[in-house]
Each structure stands twice: as structure tokens, then as C-alpha cells.
Structure 1
Amino acid sequence: MQKGAPDQSPHDPTGLELARSIANSVGAQQRRRRKHPKHSAPVDQVRSGAAPDDRDPKLLSAALDRLVEAKGWSTDLSVRALLARWPVLVGPTNAAHSWPESYADTVLTVRAESTVWATSLRTMAPQLVAKLNEQLGDGTVTRVKVLGPQGPSWKKGPLSIRDGRGPRDTYG
């Protein structure tokens, strides 16, 4: 050996000694990083375990149920779901000639295609209120307002005259 030359050990053909030295240097770097406070995890950090908690993913249906309950939409959604089955409520013949138009402030508004069908629905309105309250809960619907067909609109364009002459003598 020469003076000042580094001490060289015999060559390891398996590379095991080289792997150990790399692993030790990486381990030493990790130990040094852990000592720094900015890299360490807070002591009071709550960790998730095997049991379910609030941070776990939720089903979409459960999230929607919570949203509906928080916003107070459950009654409106129940009414709309029931009105989607309009033929079951009023019968297929009446349903072919009428449709629910709106629900607001416990009043259900129904539109009929003619005055005859509107009269027919008005006669059955008390039974319809009872049937709706039976399925939705008492007081959900207090009145069924039945409207006849809408007449033609004579308003043409944004510059029409309010309270103008109207239909004149054409519709008597």
C-alpha cells in the first residue's frame, strides 16, 4: 500500500457489501429527517383505524338523504313522488285529461284540458285530499285547486298594450 492512498478492501463480486452501505446511508438520512420538528407528524393527530368514522367515504344516497333533511325538502319530494303516479291517484281516464301543475303552501293545483274534466275533478277533490294525506301525512295537502283550460293569449310581443281590446266578439 502507498502512503495517503485510501484503504481498499477486496472486491465483493455479489455486491452485498455495496447494498448494505446504500441501505445504511438511506436509513441515516431518514433518521436525520425525523429529528427535524417540521417533518414530524403532530402529536395530537387523530388517525383512522379499522372502525368506520366520519372521514370514511359515504354512499351517495346517504349524502343526498342528509342534504334533503337539512334543507327541509322531504315533504316536497314526497309530494312530487306521489304526483308522479297521478294515474294511480285519480284513475287512468281522469289522468289522461288532467295533470298536476304545482304544489305550494299545502295547495295542490291541477289543470284539466276542458271544463267538463275540471268539474269532474272538483267533485272528487275531497277524496283526493284524503288519499294524499293518508299517504303523505295529515295536513300535507289541505286543498286541491282545479283549473280549467287556459284561453289563448292575445299578447303578442314586448310592446303590446295592457288591457287592450282582447278577443272582441270572436269568442263571445
Structure 2
Amino acid sequence: MTIQRDADARSADAPRGADLAREALRAAREAAAQRAAGPGGRKRSVVGRGRRRRRWSGPGPDDRDPQPFGRLISRVSMDRGWSPRLTDATVLGRWPQLVGPDIADHCTPIALRDAELTLQAESTAWATQLRTLQRQLLARLAAAVGPDVVRRIRVVGPTGPSWRHGPRHIRGRGPRDTYG
């Protein structure tokens, strides 16, 4: 009987189901508040842990503001290493604006490789004229697209029709040798 009384006394003092749940919830809340306080005792936000709060860009320009399309394209071309090829394309694409309509009417740019611009003249007279104007053309191109884009100009005269097709060729009479 004494055992029964001791068990009844213990059960009256011990918390039961709902009381145990309340006590566990209170302990968990205290532990979370201590973790949120962090070092130094200051409270910090649990939701935005490790992230800075975004602020308004204000009256000045910011990276999040809309950017002009040209600036974005130049940034992408610099990041990917396309800038040298774009300047080469600028020389070939804007040829009439760079050298003037008189010269552009009588020659066409063929290629730009290793800072050497190859021009094809429409006649041998214009090929000679372009060779004499070479320094002025280099100065115009350097002023327009940059000093190291074009360093040399090679002028090629007009060529006649060719019967060659493809990169390989066998010496001989060619297509005129059909009837033996």
C-alpha cells in the first residue's frame, strides 16, 4: 500500500500530457531566441540569414537600372573575347564611311588578318593609286577604329576569270581539252 501512495504522490506532482507539451514548446522557443540573438547579444533576423536587404537604387545610376543596349553588347563582347573580331568586322562593314565614297567605289576590302588589310582594286591604275595613298588610308583607319587594328595594307589588282574550282589543281590544258 505504501507503494501505491508513493506512486500517487509522484503522479500528482509530475506534469501530464498537455503540460509536458507546453513545457517542451517553451524550451524550444527559448533556445530559438538564444540562437537568433547570436554573438554579442544582438537580435538578427532568422528569415534573411546570410543575405543583405536590397535597398532602392536612389537618384544615381545603379547596376540594376536599365542599361543602354550598346553598353551591354560591348560588355558581353569584352567578357567573351569578341572585341578584336568585332573591330575587324567594323572595318569591313563600314568601309565606305571610313575611307570615303571615291575610294570605296573603286576598291573592296577582301580580308583583315593579323592586322593586314587586303584590298582588291577594280583596275591596275587604281591599284597603283591605292598603293600611293596607303599612308593616308592607314591614318584614317587608325583614327576611326584604333591604332593597332590595321597596320599594313596589301593591294591586289583585278584578276581574270579562272577555270580552277576548289583548292587542288593539276597542270594541263584544263576544260578546253575535251576533244583530244
* Coarse TM-score class (shorter-chain normalised): 0.5 to 0.7
Residue 47 of structure 1, aligned match among 44, 53, 58:
53
RMSD over aligned Cα atoms: 3.5
Displacement of 1:113 in angstroms is: 2.0
Q: Using a 3 Å threshold, how does the CA distance of structure 1 residues 92 and 60 change in structure 2: closer, same or farther?
A: closer
1:141 equivalenced with 2:150 (yes/no): yes
Give the TM-score normalised by the residue count of structure 1: 0.56
The letter for the 2-side match of 1:50 is W
Partner in structure 2 of residue 107 of structure 1: 116
* 1:106-153: CA deviation from partner (whole Å, max 9, x where unpaired): 111111122222222111112211222233343332111111223323
Any idea what SS the aligned residue of 2:143 has?
Answer: helix
User: Number of residues paired by the alignment?
Assistant: 129
Give the TM-score normalised by the residue count of structure 2: 0.54
| Counterpart-to-counterpart distance in 2, 1:130 and 1:57 | 37
- Is contact 1:98–1:113 with CA below 8 Å preserved after alignment? yes
1:84-123 to structure 2, matched below 5 A, reads 84-123=93-132
Ranges in structure 1 where 5+ consecutive residues have no aligned partner: 1-39
Displacement of 1:82 in angstroms is: 4.9
- Bigger helix share: 2
* 1:52-77: CA deviation from partner (whole Å, max 9, x where unpaired): 76566644333212112223444543
Displacement of 1:99 in angstroms is: 1.2
1:1-172 to structure 2, matched below 5 A, reads 41-51=47-57, 54=63, 58-78=67-87, 80-156=89-165, 162-165=169-172
Q: Which moved more, 1:160-169 or 1:124-133?
A: 160-169
| Counterpart-to-counterpart distance in 2, 1:60 and 1:161 | 46
Any idea what SS the aligned residue of 2:155 has?
Answer: strand
Identity of aligned residues (%): 39
Ranges in structure 2 where 5+ consecutive residues have no aligned partner: 1-45
| Counterpart-to-counterpart distance in 1, 2:101 and 2:159 | 22
Any idea what SS the aligned residue of 1:101 has?
Answer: strand
Any idea what SS the aligned residue of 2:172 has?
Answer: coil
